[in-house]
């Protein structure tokens, strides 16, 4: 039996990341569920297997550690032989009430290390394997706060700037892959407020509902590249 499409989702043991893994598995995609804790990743993967999804792998993955990201891609190559979908969902929000003029620089740098540099590190390690297949998809999960028009005092400076920088990574990478005539689409998407531990707003949607708004960027045969979306609606940069 041939291996189906294979996806790796970072930050996937709970919340939106886990909901994305479940939705992909329901679409008959083999999924690597990743998290910084190996036991948490294996527990989440076991939950999906109990739901009847056999091709699910739990992997320890710290996007700030180049050895960890390289090992995760190697494990996927060894297990599945391919990687078709990468979702950069891992993120931290550790400055919810800070101001740009006073935010602790170590907090700012730690946020960028996960939300921006970590995502780019994951892309760089995954791309060689993704290039060996046919069409592939990279999705960077961001936020409405990433839009420059949303840069107000109500947004967390480190988190907002890190996600705006990830938008820039999205555009640069999409342009580079287009010049290579590659069939790898790279996009960014904001799910909007989601009921997870990172959310500070009431009335947020469920992780499952949020995940459903992004699936088309991962599963549709024809998708744009270099876009910033909420659902199917483009968002202003």
The vertex-182 CA angle with 178 and 187, nearest 5°, equals 60
159 in active site: yes
Instruction: Give CA separation, 106 vs 145, 165, 166, 207, 234, in Å.
Output: 21, 17, 19, 30, 33
| Residue 182: both structure tokens together | 């590659």
Annotated active-site residue in 159, 162, 210, 227: 159
| Residue 213: both structure tokens together | 């708004």
Which spans in the chain are helix H?
A: 15-26, 38-50, 66-80, 105-112, 119-131, 157-179, 207-212, 216-219
d(CA 139, CA 90): 12
SS3 37: coil
124: nearest Cα among 66, 46, 190: 66
Helix (H) or strand (E) holding 55: none
With contact defined as beta carbons under 8 Å apart, do 142 and 155 qualify?
Answer: no
Largest interatomic CA distance in the chain: 57
> What are the residue numbers of the active site?
159
């Amino acid at each position: 039996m041939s291996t189906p499409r294979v996806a790796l989702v970072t930050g996937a043991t709970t919340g939106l990341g886990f909901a994305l893994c479940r939705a992909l598995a329901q679409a008959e995609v083999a999924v690597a569920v990743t998290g910084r804790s190996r036991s948490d990743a294996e527990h989440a993967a076991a939950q999906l297997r109990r739901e009847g999804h056999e091709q699910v792998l739990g992997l320890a993955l710290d996007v700030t550690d180049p050895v960890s990201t390289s090992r995760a891609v190697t494990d996927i190559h060894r297990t599945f032989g391919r990687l078709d979908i990468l979702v950069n969902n891992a993120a931290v929000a550790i400055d919810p009430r800070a101001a740009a003029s006073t935010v602790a620089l170590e907090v700012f740098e730690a946020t960028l290390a996960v939300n921006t540099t970590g995502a780019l590190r994951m892309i760089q390690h995954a791309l060689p394997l993704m290039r060996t297949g046919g069409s592939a998809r990279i999705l960077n999960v961001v936020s409405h706060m990433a839009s420059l028009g949303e840069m107000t005092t109500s947004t967390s400076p480190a988190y907002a700037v890190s996600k705006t920088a990830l938008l820039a990574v999205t555009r640069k990478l999409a342009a580079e892959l287009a010049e290579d005539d590659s069939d790898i689409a790279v996009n960014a998407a904001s799910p909007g407020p989601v009921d997870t531990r990172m959310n500070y707003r009431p009335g947020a949607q469920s992780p499952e509902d949020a995940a459903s708004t992004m699936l088309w960027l991962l599963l549709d045969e024809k998708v744009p590249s270099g876009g910033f979306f909420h659902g199917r609606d483009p968002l202003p940069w």
